[in-house]
Amino acid sequence: MAGAAHDDDLDAILALTPDQRVERAVQKLPTLSAQDVPLQDSCPICLLPFPSIISGENVEPESPGELVGVTKLQGCGHVFCRLECVTGPLSSSAAH
């Protein structure tokens, strides 16, 4: 159980703008370590192979460092890179 902090956490989320909620949700996603990533696979959105995402060779220099890597969505278990494949669709839908 998460304990008493959970209700405070919910209040904090409800006070956020949609953009802030997306940012918070993305920041809470885990970054998988190399041994947890299916290295023979690629991101289903941008089609970059996971090994190259982990190594950072396709990462633009201006990308925020904390969004580099591969993450796994809890619940559905889908694995994505943490770049615009996670933040892009969520951010653009929240902006409209």
Contact residues for Zn ion, defined by CB under 5 A: 43, 45-46, 81, 85
Cα separation, 50 vs 34, in Å, equals: 9
Q: Identify which of residues 22 and 85 has a Cβ nearer to Zn ion in the complex.
A: 85
Q: Minimum CB separation from Zn ion for residue 53, in Å?
A: 7
Q: Minimum CB separation from Zn ion for residue 23, in Å?
A: 18
Q: Identify which of residues 46 and 68 has a Cβ nearer to Zn ion in the complex.
A: 46
Q: Which residues of 64-75 are buried (b: 16+ CB within 10 A; e: fewer)?
A: eeebbbbbbeee
> What's the token pair of residue 85?
């494949």
Q: Minimum CB separation from Zn ion for residue 81, in Å?
A: 4
